[in-house]
Amino acid sequence: MKIREEYTCPLELTHDITKGKWKPIILWLLKQGNKTLVYLEKNIQGINQKMLIEQLKELLDFGMIGKKTFEGYPLRVEYFLTERGKKMLEAITIMQNIGIDLMKENGMDDVLKAKGLID
């Protein structure tokens, strides 16, 4: 995805960067440090490799994440948060906390406990 030539406001651009089901989850997992494609694919329930690669490319294009390639065989690639990505993660953390509150209000504590998000 490329930056469009016209936006009504900066928030619209930020929404374009993070829209979709997977990008916020990818950024959330990268807060723990560098991750491989295999790690991300195994830890994002429901995503396939093609979609993951597409989402990673868009996050790379927007400068939210970086990519480090290691020489040797087999080829190893790790993804990491850039400074811009860390800043975006602050907003995603707020969104995560709102989601936790809403899930608690709707009696979904068991799901949150299973994910390790609450005790």
Q: Is residue 1 part of a domain?
A: no
Q: Is residue 103 part of a domain?
A: yes
pLDDT at position 2 over 70: no
- Taking the CB of residue 85, how many other CB atoms lie within 10 A of it? 22
Report the distance separating Cα 118 and Cα 104, nearest Å. Answer: 10
Number of folded domains in the chain? Answer: 1
Q: Which residues pair with 69 in a beta bridge?
A: 77
Tens digits of per-residue pLDDT, 37-95? 999 999 999 999 999 999 999 999 999 999 999 988 888 899 999 999 999 999 989 98
Domain at 54, CATH number = 1.10.10.10
- Residue 34 lies in domain: 10-114
pLDDT at position 1 over 80: no
Q: Is residue 5 part of a domain?
A: no
